[in-house]
Amino acid sequence: MHTECEATSIPEQPLKHFFAFTAQNYAKNAEKEIEFGRLVTVSKKRARVNVKILDRTLTNLRQREVNTENEKIKIFETNLATLNCDNVTTIKKITTFQSKYDEAKVQNEQLATDFKEYKTSAGVLTENQNTRIFLLSSKTLVLEKKIEHYSLTLKN
């Protein structure tokens, strides 16, 4: 596994690399240790480091989302102000945009909820790590999928 010093540099890499690093390492080590009938030992310090990195990564992501949302609002208001009621195409475009915008906001709220649950699961690591690590890996993978889907929504 990476050392904690190496782990702190991960947010500078693409987001999916960070999630792949976290999920694969936890899952790989859990499987290896269980296979040999031993308990997996991951320190509480490492869990805190990983959560801190994830927190910082998501904070940066959310800031990008806020900027994108503000830009979308400007575009929406501009289109609305210049709307010609006889132009059916323009009306259709604005309606489609509004539905995508609303959907993105809902996804963002869900992402925040999932991240809160992830931090809770990561913060209660104890001596018996087996089930906790799989829970941690599962949450990470869920977050990875949601963030990738949300990023795609914003790009579209």
pLDDT digits over 31-75, tens only? Answer: 444 444 333 344 445 555 555 566 666 666 666 666 666 666 665
- pLDDT, average across residues 16-24: 52
pLDDT digits (tens, 9 = 90+) for 87-146: 444 445 545 555 555 565 555 565 555 555 555 544 443 334 444 444 444 455 555 555
- Say how many domains are in the chain: 1
Which residue has better confidence, 152 or 3? 152
- The whole-model pTM stands at 0.22
Give me the pLDDT at residue 42, please: 45
Query: Which residue range forms the structural domain that includes residue 146?
Result: 4-155
Q: What is the 3-state secondary structure (H, E, C) of the chain?
A: CCCHHHHCCHHHCCHHHHHHHHHHHHHHHHHHHHHCCCCCCCCHHHHHHHHHHHHHHHHHHHHHHHHHHHHHHHHHHHHHHCCCCCCHHHHHHHHHHHHHHHHHHHHHHHHHHHHHHHHHHHHCCCCCCHHHHHHHHHHHHHHHHHHHHHHHHHHC
